[in-house]
Amino acid sequence: MSRAVGVLGGMGPEATLDFFAKVLRRAGAGSDQEHLRLLIDNNPGVPDRNAALSGRGESPGPVLAQMARGLQASGADFLVMVCNTAHAFEDDILNATSLPFVSLIEETRDAVLRERPALRRVGLLATNACLDAGLYQSAFAPHDVRTLTLEGASLERFMELLYRIKAGNTGPDVRAEMRSLALELVDAGAEVLVAGCTEVPLVLGAQDVPAPLVNSTDVLVERTLQYARGLAPLPERSVETPA
Amino acid sequence: MSRAVGVLGGMGPEATLDFFAKVLRRAGAGSDQEHLRLLIDNNPGVPDRNAALSGRGESPGPVLAQMARGLQASGADFLVMVCNTAHAFEDDILNATSLPFVSLIEETRDAVLRERPALRRVGLLATNACLDAGLYQSAFAPHDVRTLTLEGASLERFMELLYRIKAGNTGPDVRAEMRSLALELVDAGAEVLVAGCTEVPLVLGAQDVPAPLVNSTDVLVERTLQYARGLAPLPERSVETPA
């Protein structure tokens, strides 16, 4: 039996469903018993990450800590979280349990560097709170990779799109707008794009953009399968301090 | 905040994914925060229900009990289980926690009787173990409804189809074969068909058969939303003894 995966989810629920579906597809299982055990806490009641990080709402930290403890009590062997922005509260999770925590941010960075080892400039499709918290910037800085981000009106449009996706709108208009924002980053010099918000891949695929697109959800799916099956050593329990 | 739903799942994982997806679709939520909290234990390691009930394998009861306790510890307010056959082990779950348990069998029977109050004969697309345990038969008996079931070679074909679906095969051949088995029950006099195994609706829809098809997964989705939102009183904690 493989290791049981504890999933902090619900941020949003569609992204968690997307993760669950992809784990099943990629598991390549021929019977129930070859699949992974996934303990999923799809908790849409986690306080809004963007509101909290901009000082307009309560911290999601205590709720995430409680979810992590529950997942450990239910039998999880390690934890993952299907939301980039919420990784700003990773310390609350690490302090709540004794389980290894697989960072979506660090795994995505590593996948980008594997894709393009001599990378100079990466484009981030990430929320303003994720950017403000410097999650990807501090992950890439030690590798001398410059991060390009949406700013001003473009970032506002991006955030508006995310809330439309969370409300269930993944139609052609939303797809076209997301694509045009991605192209802005490519025009600015991004050699690789990171879909660094789990809502982005719901409306943007590799075929939509002229640069390699690294999808943080896909990276987490692949690594989750490897960790669960014991094909990669689980990360050490240490907290990287954001710059 | 609505009531948190504990989901005993993984039997199989595709059926659990189907349930999760349908709850999100039907919730009609406009933001993360309007969705339900679902605690899902997708545990494909639950011992094979059919093997256990035919005396060829260990009972899934203790594992289901442990899952139920974990879901309660994680904050579930009531429990559902996305597998018809596993309801033969409902007592193990009821004895393991103090939570209300929503029976997929009873909810499906009630939905069938709402669909056709003067029903005489219902056709069951259910596993041989589900049939042997008499789950649906004993649920319908007090209502003077006769249950029609697949038998012999037809039941063997049905079981073979289920394991193909669990292995990821939901193609046209599997669909056509499932449809022809459903038609056998209609030809035998079934006025309503019950998709009484959570794999069945993955390959059979209402448009495929000339009689009303009550999908146990859909029933559970609708009722879960109602219970979670406090629109229906949760079932009393009592165990119906199979006939």
* Catalytic residue check, B197: yes
List the beta strands (DSSP E) in chain A.
5-9, 38-42, 78-81, 101-102, 121-125, 146-149, 192-195, 213-215
Confidence band, pLDDT 50/70/90 cuts, at residue B213: very high
CB B226 within 8 A of CB B208: no
Considering the segment(s) B5-103+218-228 as one domain, its CATH architecture is 3-Layer(aba) Sandwich (3.40)
Please compute the mean of the pLDDT values over residues A39-64 and round it to a whole number.
93
**Chain B residues with CB-CB distance to A229 below 8 A:** none
End-to-end CA distance of chain A: give it in Å, rounded. 39
Q: Do B32 and A11 touch (CB under 8 A)?
A: yes
CA distance B35 to B204: 28
**Residues of chain B above pLDDT 70, percent:** 97
Query: Which residue of chain B has the CA closest to A47?
Result: B33
- Contacts of residue A148, Cβ cutoff 8 Å, sequence gap at least 6: A121, A122, A123, A124, A185, A188, A189, A190
pLDDT value of residue A186: 97
The Cα of B16 is separated from the nearest Cα of chain A by a number of Å equal to 10
Angle at CA of residue A13, ends A7 and A176, nearest 5°: 125
A203 secondary structure, DSSP code: T
> Cβ(B140)–Cβ(B122) under 8 Å?
yes
Residue B68 reports pLDDT greater than 90: yes
Average pLDDT over residues B214-223: 96
Within 13 A of B111's CA, how many CA atoms are on the CB side?
Answer: 23
Residue A67: closest CA among chain B residues belongs to which residue? B74
Statement: residue A242 has pLDDT above 70 = no
Contact check, Cβ <8 Å, A74/B75: no
Bond into B12 cis (ω within 30): yes
The complex scores an ipTM of 0.90
Read off the tokens for B129. 């173990």
Q: Span B155-184, mean pLDDT?
A: 94
Q: B21: nearest CA in chain A? A: A17
- pLDDT value, residue B166: 84
Strands A38-42 and B38-42: antiparallel
Arithmetic mean of pLDDT, A151-163 = 95
Inter-chain residue contact B44 with A67, CB threshold 8 Å? no
pLDDT digits (tens, 9 = 90+) for B7-60: 999 998 999 999 999 999 999 877 777 789 999 999 999 998 888 988 889 999
- From chain B, the residues in CB contact with A45 under 8 A are 1, 33, 37
| Residue B32 backbone dihedrals phi, psi, to 5 degrees | -50, -45
Q: Which three-class secondary structure state does DSSP give residue A6?
A: strand
Domains A5-103+218-228 and A105-216 share a fold: yes
pLDDT digits (tens, 9 = 90+) for A87-142: 999 999 999 999 999 999 999 999 999 989 999 999 999 999 999 999 999 999 99
Of A71, A47, A70, residue with least CA distance to A59: A47
pLDDT value at residue B241: 44
- Residue B111 has a pLDDT of 96
Which member of A24, A32, A71 has the closest CB to residue B74? A71
pLDDT at B227 over 80: yes
Q: Please judge whether B45 and A33 are an interchain contact, meaning their C-beta atoms are less than 8 angstroms apart.
A: yes
Provide the residue ranges of all domains of chain A, joining segments of one domain with +: 5-103+218-228, 105-216
In this predicted model, what pLDDT tens digit does every residue of B125-142 receive, in sequence order? 999 999 999 999 999 999
User: Residue B74: CA atoms inside 13 Å, Cβ hemisphere, count?
Assistant: 37
Q: What is the pLDDT of residue A238?
A: 60
The answer to whether residues A103 and A130 touch, using CB atoms and an 8 Å cutoff, is no
If we measure between CA atoms, which residue out of A162, A234, A227 comes closest to residue A3?
Answer: A227
CA distance A154 to B35: 28
d(CA A113, CA A126): 18
Report how far residue B87's alpha carbon sits from residue B91's, in angstroms, rounded to the nearest whole number.
8
CATH code of B105-216, in short, is 3.40.50.1860
pLDDT, position A194? 97
CA-based angle B196:B201:B202, to the nearest 5?
135
User: Is the pLDDT reported for residue B183 higher than 90?
Assistant: yes
SS (HEC) of chain B: CCCCEEEEECCCHHHHHHHHHHHHHHHCCCCHHHCCCEEEEECCCCCCHHHHHCCCCCCCHHHHHHHHHHHHHHCCCEEEECCCHHHHHHHHHHHHCCCCEECHHHHHHHHHHHHCCCCCEEEEECCHHHHHCCHHHHHHHHHCCEEEECCHHHHHHHHHHHHHHHCCCCCHHHHHHHHHHHHHHHHCCCCEEEECCCCHHHCCCHHHCCCCEEEHHHHHHHHHHHHHCCCCCCCCCCCCCCC
